[in-house]
Amino acid sequence: MGSVQLVTTILAAAITALAVWLAVQAVLRIVAVVRLGQPDPGRFGDPVTRTRTMLAETAGHTRMLRWSVVGAAHWFVMVAFVVLSLLVLEAYFEVVSPTGGLPLIGGWTVYGLVTELIAIFGVVGIVVLIAIRIRNRPSRPGGRSRFTGSTMWQGYFVEAVVLAVLIMGFLIRGFKVATDHFEYPTWATPVSHAVGALLPNWEAGVSVAALIKIMISMTWLIVIALNVTMGVAWHRFLAFFNIFFKRDPGRAGSGLGALRPMTSNGKPLDFEEADPESDQFGVAQVEQFTWKGLLDFSTCTECGRCQSQCPAWNTGKPLSPKLLVLSLRDHAYAKAPYLLAGGGKDLTGEEKATAAQLAHVDVLALAEAEKPLIGGAEEGGVIDPDVLWSCTTCGACVEQCPVDIEHVDHIVDMRRYQVLIESSFPSEAGVMLRNLENKGNPWGAPQNTREDWTKGLDFEVPRVGEAEDFEYLFWVGCAGAFEDRAKKTTRAVATLLHEAGVSFAILGEGETCTGDPARRIGNEFVFQMLAQQNVETLNEAFDGREKSKRKIVATCPHCFNTLGNEYGQLGGEFEVVHHTQLLAHLVATGKLTPVQPVDGGVTYHDPCYLGRHNRVFAPPREVLGSAASEGITEMPRNSERSFCCGAGGARMWMEEKIGKRINVDRVEEAMSTGAKTIAVGCPFCSTMLNDGVNGKGAGEQVEVVDVASVLLRSVRPEQNRDGQQAEPVAG
């Protein structure tokens, strides 16, 4: 070993020892913080599916590739990071000897070729990512960036390190070429040979370049070890675990659809026995999230994909799902020293730790612990109430997140505490909750008017119990029964089912709200009350039938979601379809035949709880495609990337006081297609978009109408717009 190699070896060993020691401390700290969370036993089942999904999402970049250029660039960088770790390892042999290399595979042409190619694509990929970050930097003139609120220096630092390490790899190989110590042929390593042609024949160059590469890599490790909240770097390790432990790993759109049940100490809460003094009601302290929640917060890469799709953020509300996650992460890590010392409040609000336990806790951690989780700026709150209540639970954030963070569950968990314990929520929603409790529907309409929509139809609508047999139970929903526009959809669906010869029956006055708005606002108690009643009614209606024959068709995607995805949590197992799915099937099988094309252009707005939450994208389009003369003109934001109407998450029952109205934003997009018909598949979307169209004074030019009504006009051109005969049948 020459004197240069002696120095490079000592320096490489010293910085590596320091970096590894700090990294181990950092990993222990992250694990300790995540372990502060509540139990979540459901995260360990079906390890085979979990492993398969994790590998598909990481190796295949199935989520990120939807953003094709970014996804492809990131894929190459990820592969480069994993494979070229071998080259960092190789550098340790090269600091010792300029002819050093990896044992066994070093010198193998295939290894030389593969690493060369990956390094070339890695350089291209990281340059693309840097260019994208610079182009979308928050400080650029005009527009909001998805990186707004991200810690930009960390992103640039990580990207610069990756680029520098890749370049140093070529320099090491170049010096080997220049000193004639390189084993690989030119055809397999063309860039390395080209670099070598430019370098001097300096024997020590290999070891010096290898030392620089190690120092850059270890500096990166030291920096991230000292910044455990640096998600842009830590996600490289944490993302595997976060994806592995996501809920419903086998389901497309996991983290969407059903909400997680309310749990205390890892067990679903039973309201008949629950006690607020011993059971946790929602989340009031950051450590009351489950450990998976804390892992979610730790894993956020700060990429801002969620933010760029969020309807609240895009219309000037204070909510950004990314900033919400970052606030919770920073708060959790800042509060952690206090919690790890034994601190924390019990469920009655009493401090658990003794003064001696807290004596050595940093004052900043003690101050952080005093912050309310939900509170305005004046109280030093971590999450502002306006942030919490701006969410429509549309799921765009969950859909977009490349590391499967479950934002909606966390938001609703925080709402649950605010509603159930603090009674603190937008006051206008109180009327809706009272109506649900007292009348079983959010409008407070009398129960005996639930069947009024059947008046004027030219056929009898049978009730369960009266009908001899029925294939589908037609779940009308509160909007479908009480809201004038939605009643037209209900009539249209009933007419089409009747026309197609589908046997169906309704519950009539036996139906109550599914509880969706109560659950999404956080009132799990009212949800459970309504849901248990409905499950009982439905189980009775389907008595003796196996699950595949317990078929329900619903026109409201919120009912569809709750009945199909959430009632199972309470013992109600049903086969639920949305009316657009059933209608598409009836058209495809020739039971319904559109005869008159609908003119003037049609665009389709995907309801969040039908599309993103339940992956029903094609059937409504198939129905419209069969009925519209020109097919569908898609809006720029459609299908998985559809933009919310603003009504979900019980926002239908709250005033929208901040920023631009979400429904107006969506209507402008719909109208930009030039279509005269905006088709919807949800009564709430219908209301919101109708309001938006009317607010723009375009009610005469553009019509918002349900997919079923569009089909009915094509199947029965003589039908008027109310889904009734042009000449109503008398008596």
Least distance to ligand SF4 from the beta carbon of 154, Å?
Answer: 13
Closest CB to ligand SF4 among residues 115, 290: 290
| Euclidean distance between CA atoms 268 and 411, whole angstroms | 18
Closest CB to ligand SF4 among residues 38, 309: 309
DSSP-assigned beta bridge partners for residue 473: 505, 552
Q: How buried is 346 (Cβ within 10 angstroms: 0-12 exposed, 13-18 middle, 19+ buried)?
A: exposed
HSE, CB side, 13 Å, CA atoms: give it for residue 69. 8
Least distance to ligand SF4 from the beta carbon of 388, Å?
Answer: 10
| Euclidean distance between CA atoms 650 and 657, whole angstroms | 15
Closest CB to ligand SF4 among residues 149, 572: 149
Closest CB to ligand SF4 among residues 115, 392: 392
| Euclidean distance between CA atoms 650 and 433, whole angstroms | 10
- Compute the radius of gyration of the chain from its Cα atoms: 30
Which residue matches tokens 């080209």?
A: 194
Least distance to ligand SF4 from the beta carbon of 53, Å?
Answer: 17
> The tokens of 278 are what?
């011993």
For 544: left if phi > 0, alpha if psi spans -120 to 50, otherwise beta; the answer is: left
Least distance to ligand SF4 from the beta carbon of 249, Å?
Answer: 17
Instruction: Look up residue 27 and give its amino acid.
Output: V
Closest CB to ligand SF4 among residues 386, 499: 386
Least distance to ligand SF4 from the beta carbon of 74, Å?
Answer: 12
Q: Cβ(682)–Cβ(610) under 8 Å?
A: yes
Least distance to ligand SF4 from the beta carbon of 309, Å?
Answer: 6
Closest CB to ligand SF4 among residues 143, 697: 143
Least distance to ligand SF4 from the beta carbon of 637, Å?
Answer: 12
Closest CB to ligand SF4 among residues 325, 336: 325
Q: Is 18 helix (H, G, I), strand (E, B) or coil?
A: helix
HSE, CB side, 13 Å, CA atoms: give it for residue 265. 8
| Euclidean distance between CA atoms 229 and 531, whole angstroms | 40
Q: Cβ(23)–Cβ(225) under 8 Å?
A: yes
Closest CB to ligand SF4 among residues 61, 213: 61
- DSSP secondary structure string, 153-167? HHHHHHHHHHHHHHH
Distant-in-sequence, close-in-space partners of 211: CB < 8 Å, separation ≥ 6: 8, 11, 12, 91, 95
| Euclidean distance between CA atoms 414 and 328, whole angstroms | 11
Least distance to ligand SF4 from the beta carbon of 393, Å?
Answer: 5
Least distance to ligand SF4 from the beta carbon of 364, Å?
Answer: 25
Helix (H) or strand (E) holding 16: helix 3-34
Q: Cβ(648)–Cβ(520) under 8 Å?
A: yes
Least distance to ligand SF4 from the beta carbon of 317, Å?
Answer: 8
Closest CB to ligand SF4 among residues 280, 392: 392
CA torsion sign, 324 to 327 to 331 to 332? positive
Helix (H) or strand (E) holding 677: strand 677-680
Closest CB to ligand SF4 among residues 321, 344: 321
Closest CB to ligand SF4 among residues 302, 511: 302
Least distance to ligand SF4 from the beta carbon of 226, Å?
Answer: 21
Q: Which residues contact ligand SF4 (rule: CB under 6 A)?
A: 300-306, 309-312, 319, 321-322, 325, 391-397, 400-403, 405, 407-408
| Euclidean distance between CA atoms 386 and 574, whole angstroms | 37
